[in-house]
Amino acid sequence: MSKKLFIETLGCAMNSRDSEHMIAQLREKEGYETTTELKEADLILINTCSVREKPVAKLFSELGVFNKRKKEGAKIGVCGCTASHLGEEIIKRAPYVNFVLGARNVSKIGEVLHKNKAVEVDINYDESEFAFDDFRTSPYKAYINISIGCDKSCTFCIVPKTRGDEISIPDELIIGEAKKAVDKGAKEVFLLGQNVNNYGRRFSSSEHEKVNFTELLRRLSKIEGLERIRFTSPHPFHMDDEFIEEFASNPKICKSMHMPLQSGSTKVLQEMKRGYSKEWFLNRVEKLRAEAPGVSISTDIIVAFPGESDEDFEDTLDVMRKVEFDQIFSFKYSPRPETEAEHFTNIVDPEVASDRLSYLQALNTEILDKKNAEQMGKTFTVYFEDLNADGFVSGRTDNNFVVKVKGSEELLGQFRDVKITKIGRTILTGELLV
Ligand code: 5AD
Ligand code: SF4
């Protein structure tokens, strides 16, 4: 009988891909199968996120619960970004944890499993050319890492301290992985990196051809049978004209762009060391919308960064009103260890911070309701990926609306035209056109 693995994944898409890599290694080399039942697991993994404080605090209470409920003899491993930044401290605070495995060390999962109290958290470890075994949660969409780490030094962000310096994965490996996924039936690839449009600045081997992100997109789009290419996250600073023009003119690139704004105030952006101004951001949006009409634009916004005044916050709202984002991930600033901003003293009053977040989210809802209502009666091509429990099948339009229709699994992996008949805030409902 196979051994059972219970894995919980928090955080971003990169973490989800790391979990897939660990599952792959554990299946192929160690004979594990995944389970959703904690009690029957022989190995429990928590793949953690440390980008904000909350999930870190939750980790220890959750570990306690897992330790109480686990089957006798089951091992517990803590992986991911919090493992990178807390390292040994995790075992000190929770001595029943069997190993700690940092982000960027996931290829060592088979090793740490057989050692007692192993702590592998080297953020300079280079896995950029490691040949992971194959495992994908979805057969329809393949997540592919194109780089590891991040070379930026945004003053709020812990990621460079948990995922290390940026190294690009050689393009031939990425293309090989995409082809393999397409051969197995995937029609969409989702490229992942902390800063995808900085791709190609540094490879593991200094002799590797300097392929940039735009060129990588061109090369990938030549793969026969690959219909859709998505990626996250690009950095507004690196959105040059060549990149936007390729994005707009290449029919295989989905017309959906994530543009993490963080703040609309040039002063705050400078304090954050983002490398662009409010005007540059708006200029890039304008160029994008001119070249790719109908493109959807999503963003990340942090409110109440140290020193953010009412006027600075107004600038953020101003960008929101001008751009009318299609999706916003918004957060209250959370001081993180080992970041520059951790030492900033001009902290915004927590009540003001909460008010700003609520205001921003209410404005976002207003904008979304208006934009979603405009989709009524329109026809979109939807790539169906998920079977829902309620007799519906859902997928995404090229410009990233989630659409569901009544149907069954025959629709999965198919492109079908759908007319929108009902509007919801996060999901549109439609009818298949024959
Ligand atoms: N506080 C709040 N939000 C943060 N993010 C990153 N670091 C912090 C922090 N210290 C947000 C940013 C980033 C997203 C992944 O998380 O908006 O784009
Ligand atoms: Fe992903 Fe960032 Fe969380 Fe790390 S800290 S898991 S990179 S979201």
pLDDT of residue 125: 96
The identity of residue 281, as a single letter, is F
Domain boundaries, the chain: 3-120, 136-254, 256-275+286-374, 379-432
Equal fold, 136-254 vs 256-275+286-374: yes
Atom of ligand 2 nearest to the CA of 15: 6
Work out the pLDDT band at 55, boundaries 50, 70, 90.
confident
Beta-bridge partner residues of 120: 101
User: What is the side-by-side strand order in the sheet with 43-48?
Assistant: 32-34, 3-9, 43-48, 75-80, 99-102, 118-120
Ligand nearest 274 Cα, by number?
1
The identity of residue 132, as a single letter, is F
All residues at 6 or more sequence positions from 289 whose CB lies less than 8 Å from its CB, including other chains? 295
User: Ligand 1 centre and the CA of 305: distance in Å?
Assistant: 10
Residue-wise pLDDT for 73-91, tens only, equals 999 999 999 999 999 999 9
Q: Which of 128, 134, 59, 124 is nearest to 97 (CA)?
A: 59
- Residues 374-396: what's their mean pLDDT? 96
What is the CATH architecture assignment of 379-432?
Beta Barrel (2.40)
What is the CATH architecture assignment of 256-275+286-374?
2-Layer Sandwich (3.30)
- The CATH code belonging to domain 136-254 is 3.30.750.210
Residue-wise pLDDT for 151-172, tens only, equals 999 999 999 999 999 999 999 9
pLDDT of residue 259: 98
User: Ligand 2 centre and the CA of 433: distance in Å?
Assistant: 40
Does 7 sit in the ligand 2 pocket, CB within 6 Å? no
How large is the angle between the packed helices 350-373 and 310-323, nearest 10 degrees? Answer: 10
- The CATH code belonging to domain 3-120 is 3.40.50.12160
CB 193 within 8 A of CB 147: yes
Does 212 sit in the ligand 2 pocket, CB within 6 Å? no
Structure tokens at 370: 């208006």
Residue nearest to atom 7 of ligand 2 (CA): 159
User: Ligand 2 centre and the CA of 12: distance in Å?
Assistant: 5
Residue ranges lining ligand 1, Cβ < 6 Å: 51-52, 156-157, 260, 262, 300, 302, 331, 333-334, 336
Average pLDDT of every residue of the chain? 96
